[in-house]
Chains A and B, each alone.
Chain A
């Protein structure tokens, strides 16, 4: 019996042959990626391309089983491929790079794959690959884990929900006054130390005055108390002086920094009586602690234990000195990095001293690292389970199981870890069927997508007018269409703007990978117009001979025209969301991995949702 005998008996000879000629893209060679690579190889997929930007870190080794201590700092993709050689029977192609880099990975490169497996750890890349899969109509197997929680979701473009059909959690934000004046939880002090104090002291480019003015209008102060707002502004100005101490490396003045932050500023805060009517007053740091600080730390402190306030202050002085010495070598600009021990300990000790002042529990450096670094716990078992599910369901997505042919893509299942996530005691996994794509999804439902392929010779002479004419002709637009460059929302042409029409695409910076949006401006007698069309500009040498430009075969449905007022209202809404997200003064929790919490809630609602659905069906039947 040969190595493939089991898989042949499971899927049959024909499907086995198809597997051998299937080309997969695996995005990510980390926790889920290592596991997926192993599964896909053992399932005898013909060709697997693996993309990962990262290098190997010590903290990966508890779960990324292809990597060893000796591989630390090596690229994940190439190391993973080397590590599987002894059991590999597939063609493997590793790439070290960012999947969102359209120069290294243009759309036509994505086009070579029959199926895409996402094994990513961040929202931006997940969204990007989702979009690529929508442009190319390539099935995508999406997956994610966080601790014991894991999920997989097959995405069949145009048929089932895409990654963006459900809203994802956005980073948590806090009002300015909670961070600067009235913290009540450890995280408030950690945010203060990391996002505010650390930057102000160790990044000479941070000019406190400028910073404040800029943000004035958008700022969520979280208070209307003018005294307090003025105090916060003044305090920031005074920090400039502290930054000078750091930049000029005056070690003998470190105690001034500590006094200012933990005594003077707290005393000033106490003067705003309004703040303390309903809250416990803070207690300024006992000054004797500061003067008794010796030069060297007296003992080796344990990072997973909670230190005394004396030890916190002593360690703060110690790491501040180290950071000061680093300043000139690093162009007076040090960034917080959870794996840079000096920056971590500075943030941990200052956060803890502030917590102590405000009667908030103190935490170990180990715990603060998790909060400040947004570390998501990760284990081998959840990753193994999720990768197993993802690779297994791909057989059905590719329709390779003869006993379980897919009649409709919505017969396919997604899966969640129900038991491990404490959502169920009688199911290890929950496996709801896929939902059809959501009609409100901006990615898969509100626009029609496709790829326009152009040879480079044709591209050199192609004007915007040429392109517009081709499109009008192909998709039967009656009259006016407007054209927009989606990467910067730049209007390229509409009924009263035709200046750019005679320029070549290259002239107006429509380069390879640009997504161009065409909107029908002319509604018919029934108030209908073409659904918006987004075309990905793909400059390629792979067109069949004799063809220098190819428009996608698309059916663009007619939809009710959106009035201009509605459009503006919608746009404004989108803008305000964006504004909230870029308000950099307070945001902290930039994600390491997306939370699966949102999905959990959906899971709990699953039964209810199903019920409603069947009730709706009943109503229709009665009708």
Chain B
């Protein structure tokens, strides 16, 4: 395996040329020493794996206890029809290893339910997809205990969501200084600017940059489900335009509904808790969403897997402003808002 310490080699610089030009050598070097765990390699997991392994992360560990179903073939490109019935880990292993021989890979046929929690201590970051509510609550408890950043995600056909818990994260962003200087203080309920530094461009002295340090705070998954609200977080106009996908997804994550009517009623209650008007709920959307619960769909996975992988690479390498904390995607309108819940 490649040396995980020290400088990047000329070969590595040539291979990763186009991305080093984006995030710099230091970020690329940081990424090489990171250890990331992926729980479940379904459709979104497949996209995340492709992106993260290509990026040149140091160590990537994939855990999945399922066997390949025929249905999986429709949305998971590491699989082929001969793989049906095999353990998924056995089916995908070779193709992932071939993707980037420089990444240290590990594979486990193991369910998240049967793992000793100390195992998770080994990782700098954990991504889990397609878990049920109890599993998500449990894994988040563990990541909180060991202070590990966590990404959760799942698909519902044309709709999908990402939940992020980085516990507390200081990000550093640089931007051109505008006429009005950036001030320290809270910019939203979860984000506070704690430090601003200015820097003159060494080529063009007219240009002044601000280096802004922001403290991002997060809620754990259970806390978010217990009291999700948008009160005082959005303007009236923004509240009016909130995507239907938000209350539907939160209802799905927090309630067990046995039929469409029940789901409808619970979603209306969720709207109230969020302080959005239930009248904006569309019957078509509810029915469509309900019919697609749990379905994996390749283009949606590409978008969600891309967004997660990009954020993971970012916080491991470059540390500019991370996702915070709940994102939903609507595959019909391509709407993808970010909420602080």
Whether A175 sits at the interface, judged by CB under 8 Å, is: no
Q: How far is the CB of A601 from chain B (nearest CB, A)?
A: 14
Decide if A53 is an interface residue (CB 8 Å cutoff).
no
When the two chains form their complex, are residues B71 and A431 in contact, meaning their CB atoms are under 8 A apart? no
- Partner pick for A403 among B69, B75, B284, CB 8 A cutoff: B284
Q: With A and B bound together, what is the CA distance between A38 and B16 in angstroms?
A: 22
Contacts of B306 in A (CB 8 A): 380-385, 388
Q: How far is the CA of A382 from the CA of B18 in the complex (A)?
A: 13
B299 close to A (CB within 8 Å): yes
| Segment from B50-58, B107-115, B136-144, B246-254 that makes contact with A | B50-58
From the candidates B10, B69, B309, name the one contacting A381 in the complex (CB within 8 A): B309
The residues of B that contact A303 with a CB separation of less than 8 Å are 10, 13
Which of B119-127, B177-185, B192-200, B288-296 touches A? B288-296
Instruction: Determine the distance from Cα of A370 to Cα of B339 in the docked complex, in whole angstroms.
Output: 37
Alpha-carbon distance between A403 and B287 when the two chains are bound, in angstroms: 9
User: In the assembled complex, which residues on chain B have CB atoms less than 8 Å from the CB atom of A387?
Assistant: 299, 302
CB distance from A399 to the nearest CB of B (A): 13
Within the complex, which residue of B80, B307, B338 is in contact with A425, where a contact is CB–CB below 8 Å? B338
Inter-chain contact B77/A42, CB cutoff 8 Å: yes
Residue A3 interfacial (CB < 8 Å): yes
Shortest distance from the beta carbon of B113 to any chain A beta carbon, whole Å: 24
Pairwise interchain contact B331-A392, C-beta atoms closer than 8 A: yes
Contact segment of A6-14, A509-517, A578-586: A6-14
Of residues 422 through 439 on chain A, the ones whose CB sits less than 8 Å from some CB of chain B are 422, 425-429, 431
Beyond the given pairs A59-B15, A59-B18, 4 more chain A to chain B contacts, judged by CB atoms under 8 angstroms and listed by A's residue number, are A42-B74, A385-B303, A385-B307, A431-B335
Which residues of chain B (258-317) have a CB below 8 Å from chain A? Answer: 284-285, 287-288, 291-292, 295-303, 305-307, 309-310, 313
Smallest CB separation, A10 vs chain B (Å)? 5
Question: What is B's interface to A at a CB cutoff of 8 Å?
Answer: 10, 13-19, 21-22, 25, 47, 50-51, 54-56, 69-71, 73-81, 95, 98-100, 157-158, 173, 175, 187-188, 202-204, 238, 284-285, 287-288, 291-292, 295-303, 305-307, 309-310, 313, 321, 323, 327, 329, 331-339
Q: In whole angstroms, how far apart are the Cα atoms of A576 and B323 in the complex?
A: 48
Tell me whether A401 and B337 are in contact in the complex, defined as CB-CB below 8 angstroms, given that A379-B22, A422-B175 are known contacts: no
- In-complex Cβ contact of B74 among A3, A68, A413 (8 A): A3
Contact, CB under 8 Å: A38 / B77:
yes
Name the residue on A nearest B292 (C-beta): A10
- Complex alpha-carbon distance, A366 and B8, angstroms: 14
Beyond A86-B80, A377-B19, is A6–B297 a contact (Cβ under 8 Å)? yes
Q: List 19 A-B contacts (CB under 8 A).
A: A3-B73, A6-B75, A6-B157, A6-B297, A9-B295, A10-B295, A10-B297, A38-B298, A65-B50, A65-B99, A87-B78, A377-B18, A377-B19, A379-B310, A384-B309, A385-B307, A388-B302, A392-B158, A422-B175
The distance from the CB of A394 to the nearest CB of chain B, in whole angstroms, is 9
What 0/1 pattern do residues 177 to 195 of A give for CB contact below 8 A with B?
0000000011000000000
Q: How far is the CA of A86 from the CA of B79 in the complex (A)?
A: 7
**Complex partner residue of A87 from B79, B292, B331, B334, CB under 8 angstroms:** B79
